[in-house]
A and B are shown apart, each in its own frame.
Chain A
Amino acid sequence: KAGVTQTPRYLIKTRGQQVTLSCSPISGHRSVSWYQQTPGQGLQFLFEYFSETQRNKGNFPGRFSGRQFSNSRSEMNVSTLELGDSALYLCASSAQGTLNTEAFFGQGTRLTVV
């Protein structure tokens, strides 16, 4: 069974640009969550989607947005990139998105903003 796939694995963008990251969950999983991992702030929750609806949202500015498609694939978009957006972005999928179902993480997309 294929795991969670995140593309691309590495990305370099210039300050002010926008970027879109993609996450393909495990087949059959309906919940997709996104996290930002940085050395200074650690792992921080961005948002969670379930059946194409945003169900939870973390404390990030509106420049960070996401969506989920009918096949459960999810995209995350960051507009007007800042140097501080450089991070590893992790996606996690689970079958039902409840605490009784395990979340499986992808390997992440490493974004560098220059």
Chain B
Amino acid sequence: GNSVTQMEGPVTLSEEAFLTINCTYTATGYPSLFWYVQYPGEGLQLLLKATKADDKGSNKGFEATYRKETTSFHLEKGSVQVSDSAVYFCALSRDNYGQNFVFGPGTRLSVLP
């Protein structure tokens, strides 16, 4: 079946540190890959996505590259801010007709000033 594995954290960093959150997936075929972010008390927001191998998704300084050979979609940011503190979810969807996400467990990030 389809599944997503990601480091669960919590991850605690100082402001301006480099961030990497690892995400690997298992799926038949070629899924689309996503990163969603959940700020305290809010719903999930799409952060970035990639729909085919070698695509790079980027937004708000975050980026992730779809690596088919390693079945990975690691999230990176060069310099985190306190406002980036949130829970980050890696997800996949194999359904190009409809929305049917498989989410990872989420990684809680805390950025200290």
Binds B, one of A13-21, A41-49, A79-87: A41-49
Task: Assess whether A70 is interfacial by the CB under 8 Å rule.
Answer: no
Is B51 a contact partner of A99 (Cβ separation < 8 A)? Answer: yes
Secondary structure class of chain B's binding surface, majority of residues:
loop
CA distance A33 to B101 in the complex (A): 10
Chain B residue with the shortest CB-CB distance to A107: B43
Task: Assess whether B55 is interfacial by the CB under 8 Å rule.
Answer: no
How many A-B contacts if CB must be within 8 Å? 69
Is A43 a contact partner of B99 (Cβ separation < 8 A)? Answer: no
Chain A residues with a Cβ under 8 A of chain B: 3-4, 31, 33, 35, 42-45, 48, 50, 55-56, 58, 90, 92, 94, 97-100, 102-108
* 4 pairs of A and B residues whose beta carbons are closest in the complex: A105-B43, A43-B103, A105-B44, A56-B100
Question: What are 22 A-to-B residue pairs whose CB atoms are below 8 Å?
Answer: A3-B43, A33-B101, A35-B101, A35-B103, A42-B103, A42-B104, A43-B89, A45-B101, A45-B102, A48-B99, A48-B100, A58-B100, A92-B43, A92-B44, A92-B99, A97-B99, A98-B97, A99-B32, A99-B95, A103-B101, A104-B45, A105-B45
Chain B residues with a Cβ under 8 A of chain A: 32, 36, 41-46, 49, 51, 89, 91, 93, 95-106
